[in-house]
Structure 1
Amino acid sequence: MNRIVVVGASAAGLAACETLRREGFEGTVTLIGAETRFPYDRPPLSKQLLAGAWDPSRLSLRSPAQIDALRLDARLGTTATGLSVADHTITLDTGPLAYDGLIIATGVRPRRLAGDQTHVLRTVEDALGLRERLGPGRRLAVVGAGFLGAEAAAVARGLGCGVVLFEPAPVPLAHAVGERVGRMLATVHEEHGVDLRTGVTVTSAEALDADEVLVAIGSQPNTEWLDGSGLRIDDGVVCDEYSAAAPDIYAAGDVARWRNPLFGVDMRVEHRTNATEQGMAAARNLLRPYARRPFAPVPYFWSDQYDLKLHAYGHLRAHDAVEIVDGSLEDRRFLAAYRRGDRLVGALAVGLPPKAVRPWRQAIADSALWKDVT
């Protein structure tokens, strides 16, 4: 291979570029990014940056010197508009670009309420724009009580805003962490003065009684540029267990839907750690097709809400049962284990240090039986 193109100046894209160089690739590495910034950390957008605790410069994932050391053919502010798998050519808004190997890391974009001018949180500019509008006496409506919406609601309360939080499900985050944990988190928000309204579907922001509206109703993979390419698209770029979408083409990060053999399910994970790990795995498998390894991670995510810190490993969605194995919900210091079938598939720590949940990661990786760990 002479040229490997990474489409997406994201955490996954950066990890892929670094791995290519670390593994000895001396050819051209072209990094395509729609934003004009080099890859930066997005989780702080709804936390430290929105709160005004961090300057945007702290989000940079690498220093200028570290970026220079990668010897990238960086094309920022450039958009990919098409792909010809047969011709090994990407169409950019600046013209065609041939590749020998391709890694797709184009991420996701926020879903919006149709026809309404509202805030979303995906870029630095999004967070700074919303931050300027928040403060004492302001009223923020947050549509969607997932992790992003819940974190932003907590920050807004800390800034002195009145907050109303809308969620269509009866219990926030129940699909991800279980009903009991979801109810506990709902109570925490209510105790901090959030007007939480569950079982409510918002279709338009125009009728909401608020100064500002933040929409946090999920994300949509950036795959439109792949229409007509022949790649399979189904809520992301569909890949096999190696993160391969086609010969010489891999996908990584939020945009990739792949078969995780550890859990035996197709998954698309929108968490920072997975983006880095999959970017690395995709680059290695692309460079060495004769020695490919399945990408079978134990996903990890974290969340900060008020003074609560959540840390979780595994695939918690679609679990069959949850058991509190240490601490208590009442004290808001506990560890919950998640079962699917007869296996341990996840563990969540709330109000505990990260080390409390780390041993459970290995048990999940080992496909531990439920009866052996609870």
Structure 2
Amino acid sequence: MPQTAEPKLITGNANKPLANAVARRMSMHRGVQVGLCDARIERFNDQEIFVEVYENVRGEDMFIIQSTSNPANDNLMELLIMADALRRSSAQRITAVIPYFGYARQDRRTKARTPITAKLVANMIYGAGIERVLTMDLHATQIQGFFDIPVDNLYASPIFALDVKDQFKDCMDEVMIVSPDVGGVARARELAKRINAPLSIVDKRREKAGEVAEMTVIGDVSGKKCIIVDDICDTAGTLCKAAEVLLEHGASEVHAYITHGVMSGPAVERVSKSVMKSLVLTDTIAPSEAVRNAPNIRIVPTAPIFAQAILNIWNGTSVSSLFETDTLGPIYDGMYSAS
């Protein structure tokens, strides 16, 4: 058990709204005020990052909340420098809460003379003095093995299951879960099992990187309300194309549930003009104003599950218990009638 009175949170610039929401949620659970550590993160004229923590953190159990999203390099360096500042200030333990783990798509060598950047980032995090990592929906689960420290990988599928049961409560027998590629079948199957829905796959073939040449639907989607499930939506090209293909194969509606809304380049415009009725994202990456204003994009919060996971780590209790609907339902109580 920790010796400190309360866990302490600190955040960089990547996703301050999520960090504030986590702090509010933890305050509600604890019945005492849990705030963000007073600190400043500045840039010199040459864009070097400087961190100064204004509070005493000696012997404290510290949690750094920082996604390594766009700008990925700046946010990653902020995380590492904050960790170094805390370590040199004698913090008892430093946990990195990384809702979106950037560079995760570079998890293997796909051709000669290419890096495995996810492993490099893992080494940098360990070298900065971070002793534990808490994240959500790693692009490849084997990245946990890149670390020489404990990694807790939360899943968005239990949250999505609650939302789907609430949004489609009158027509659950018409819902079909769809994986947008063969590699994402395990993720899609997990959600399908939770809501007792059938599973289909959109198999895509690429001629070259970033361009999809052909898509094939595996499974009968006729008359179904199809829900595409994936971990990352970047430019949304593949997602919008998959939605069109599903409708061509007889689907009545197409929706999408994506954990990390990278939403770069023309993504928001593509989704707004697409045949998808809705795109549901989590707030692991701070949504831009364009994302918030898009008529068919909706954000579901992750602060409740991250707040509870942080408290479980601090208390030394199970984090995997949050994978179960019976445990997660009360955490989201009042948000979903179907929980």
Please, what TM-score do these two structures have when normalized by structure 2?
Answer: 0.28
Please, what TM-score do these two structures have when normalized by structure 1?
Answer: 0.26
Name the structure where strand makes up a greater proportion of residues. 1
